[in-house]
Structure 1
Amino acid sequence: MSLPLDLLRGLFDDAAIFPPGNVPLARAVTEHAAHLRSPYADAVGPLVVRASDLPRVGDVAVGVVIGLDEAHAAVSAAGDRLRALEVALPARAEAAEVRSLASYGVDVYVEVPRDDRRTAVVAELAATGLRAKLRTGGLEEDLFPTIPELAAVIAAVVEAGVPFKATAGLHHAVRHTDPLTGFEHHGFLNLLLAAARAQAGRSLADVAAALASRDDGAVARAALVLPPEVREAFRSFGTCSIREPLDDLAHLDLLPATWKTRKDGAA
C-alpha cells in the first residue's frame, strides 16, 4: 500500500537553509532544482528563504519568511517567484495588525503566537482569509508545544476554517523522542491525523490522541485511509531535509511506487 498522491502533493516545503539544516543558499538552490526533477517532485513545495536571500535565488519559486513590517518590500523583491509569505508577529503586535497582510494576492501564513493573543489572531485570520503557521519545534525544548497545546491550536484553526502549515521539529513521520537531545518531536503524519479528526468534529481528546501515538504501524494504517480533504486544512510543513520525510514514508511502506529512489535522490 502507499499514500495517495493527493495526500502528498506539495506537502514538503524546502526549508533547507534554516536550522538545523543550515545548508548554504547556493547549494540549497541547486538541490531544490534536483528535487523538482525527481520522481517525487509533486511533493515538493517552494524553497523557503529570507527576504535578504531573494537576489541570489534566481527564478526559483519561493516562500519568504519575514517580519510584519517587511511584507511590502518582500512582495516587490520576489515578484512572480513568490508563492507564499510566512510572517512572524512581533511580541507586542496586536492581532488586528495582521489585516495589513490581506491584499498581496499570495498565500500568507501568519505564525500564531503561543500566548494569550492566539484566539484573537485566529479570528483575524479567519476574517481576512489569511492562513496560520504553527510552530512545532526548534532548537530549544520550549519551542516544542505540548500535545494539549498543539491539539488545541489545530482544533481552533480547523474550526475557524483557517488552513495552516507547520514549521520546525517535524523530522519524522511519527512522534518520537530525539536520542541526542531528549526532545519530544511531533510527527508529520500525526499532524495529518489530528487535522482530519478536527475536520470530522472529533473531540479535543481525540485530536490529542492522534498527536500522541508513537505506534508506527497504527499511524501508517490510519494514514492510508485519510480523506484527501485533510490537505485543505493542513497545507504543508517546512523541512530542512526533503529526504527525511521521504525516507520515513519508505520505511513505513507508504511511499508511492513511482517515487522510490536511491538514497542520493536519483531515479
Structure 2
Amino acid sequence: MTPTVLDTAVLAGLCDDAAIFPPGSLPLHRAVAAHLAHREAPHSTLVGPLVVRTADLPALARITAGRTPGSVDLAVTVPSPAAVRAAVADTQRIEAARLTALEVVVPEALHVAAVVPMLEEGVGDPEGVSVYVEVPRDDRRDDLLAELAGTPYLAKLRTGGVRADLYPSESELAATIASAVRHGVPFKATAGLHHAVRNTDPATGFEQHGFLNLLVATHAALEGAAETDLAVLLAERDGSRLAELVREVPPSTREAFRSFGTCHIGEPVSELADLGLLDPDLVPGLS
C-alpha cells in the first residue's frame, strides 16, 4: 500500500533557505538565484524566506537590482535588539525585498527584561513580519521565554552549529521545547538540522537532531507529554517509525513550530519523499 503523504499544511513554509550559512556557505549571488528557482519549483510550498545577515544587505541590493519589487522574501538576522530599527530600514530600501522575518540575537550582557521593551521601541508589531528572538542556551532561557509570552515576538532555538558543543542534547532541547510550549511562545529552529531524522554525521561525528523529530516532539509537548518523553522522540533514529509518528501530527502543530533553517532546500525535500511523506513528483529538478 502506498504510504500516505502529509497534509500540505503540515509542510507549508517549513524550510527557511539558509544557503549562505555554514556548512552550505553558498555565495550570496548564487544563493539568490537558487532561492528564486526553488520558489518557482514544484516544491515551492515548502520554501520559506531567504535568510541573510544585516551585513549582506548592501550586496543583496546590488544583486537584486532590477528585479520585480517585493519578489524576494527575506528573513534578516540582527545582532541585537538595538539594531532592529536600522535592519528594517535597510531592508525596506531594497526594492526587490519583502521582509517577512527578523531573527534577533540577545547579547550576553543584555538583561532579558530589556529585550521586549527594546523591540517595542525599535520595531513594534510590524504587519507581516515575524520577529524571532534567539533563546540563550543558559539559565536565561526560561526567563526570556516568560518575557516573550503574550507578546507578538517569537523564539528562535539554536539546534547545532560548526562545533559539537553547539548541539544541545536531547534532554536540553526537550526542556526548551517544553518551556516554549508552556509559555505559549511559537518558535523556529536553526543550525544543525541537516536531515529529517536524528543521526550521527559520518564526517564530523556530531550528533545531529532531525527536523521531523522536532516536529513530533512539539506535537507531543502540545499534548502534555513529559520532558522525558520529548527527549525519547528527539532521540528516535528509525525513519519508518518517525514517519508514522509524523503522519499523526495535525497542521495546528505548525502554529508552535513555525520553520527551520536549512543550508540546502533539496535535502529535506528529498528526504521527505524518501520517507513517503511527500509526493515524489515534487522532487525532480532540485538543484
Structure 1 length-normalised TM: 0.96
After alignment, is 95-104 or 171-180 more displaced?
95-104
* Cα distance in 1, alignment partners of residues 119 and 219 from structure 2: 28
* Cα distance in 2, alignment partners of residues 94 and 258 from structure 1: 49
Partner of 2:67: none
Counterpart selection for 1:86 from 103, 111, 116:
103
* Cα distance in 2, alignment partners of residues 260 and 165 from structure 1: 24
Offset at residue 55 of structure 1 (A): 2.9
Q: How many residues align?
A: 264
2:224 alignment partner AA: G
- Within the alignment, does 1:134 sit opposite 2:135 as a pair? no
Offset at residue 233 of structure 1 (A): 0.4
* Cα distance in 1, alignment partners of residues 125 and 22 from structure 2: 28
Partner of 1:8: 11
* Change over 3 Å in CA distance of 1:242–1:248 after alignment to 2: same
Counterpart selection for 2:256 from 222, 233, 237:
233
- Within the alignment, does 1:32 sit opposite 2:35 as a pair? yes
- Within the alignment, does 1:72 sit opposite 2:89 as a pair? no
2:166 alignment partner AA: L
Offset at residue 139 of structure 1 (A): 0.2
Asked if 2 retains the 8 angstrom alpha-carbon contact of 1:2 and 1:257, the reply is: no
Offset at residue 157 of structure 1 (A): 0.3
1:219-253 per-residue CA deviation (whole Å, 9 max, x = no partner) reads 01111121111100000001010011011112112
- Within the alignment, does 1:41 sit opposite 2:59 as a pair? no
Mapping of residues 63-212 of structure 1, within 5 Å: 63-68=75-80, 69-79=82-92, 81-99=98-116, 100-102=118-120, 103-105=124-126, 106-212=129-235
Q: Which runs of 4+ in 1 moved over 3 A?
A: none
1:3-31 per-residue CA deviation (whole Å, 9 max, x = no partner) reads 11001000000000011100000000000
- Within the alignment, does 1:243 sit opposite 2:266 as a pair? yes
Secondary structure of residue in 1 paired with 2:232: helix
Offset at residue 254 of structure 1 (A): 1.3
Structure 2 residue ranges without an equivalent (≥5) = 65-69
* Cα distance in 2, alignment partners of residues 160 and 81 from structure 1: 30
Structure 1 residue ranges without an equivalent (≥5) = none
Offset at residue 205 of structure 1 (A): 1.4
Asked if 2 retains the 8 angstrom alpha-carbon contact of 1:162 and 1:233, the reply is: yes
Asked if 2 retains the 8 angstrom alpha-carbon contact of 1:5 and 1:256, the reply is: no
1:56-89 per-residue CA deviation (whole Å, 9 max, x = no partner) reads 3334110000111211100111126111100111
* Cα distance in 2, alignment partners of residues 21 and 104 from structure 1: 32
Asked if 1 retains the 8 angstrom alpha-carbon contact of 2:125 and 2:152, the reply is: no
Secondary structure of residue in 2 paired with 1:81: strand
* Cα distance in 2, alignment partners of residues 260 and 140 from structure 1: 31
Offset at residue 164 of structure 1 (A): 0.3
Asked if 1 retains the 8 angstrom alpha-carbon contact of 2:273 and 2:280, the reply is: no
Offset at residue 208 of structure 1 (A): 1.1
1:83-117 per-residue CA deviation (whole Å, 9 max, x = no partner) reads 11001111111111211214141211111001111
Offset at residue 129 of structure 1 (A): 2.4
1:101-150 per-residue CA deviation (whole Å, 9 max, x = no partner) reads 14141211111001111111001111322100000000000000000000
Asked if 1 retains the 8 angstrom alpha-carbon contact of 2:270 and 2:283, the reply is: no
* Cα distance in 1, alignment partners of residues 283 and 196 from structure 2: 17
1:171-221 per-residue CA deviation (whole Å, 9 max, x = no partner) reads 000000001111100000000000000001111111111101001110011
Question: RMSD across aligned C-alpha pairs, in angstroms?
Answer: 1.2
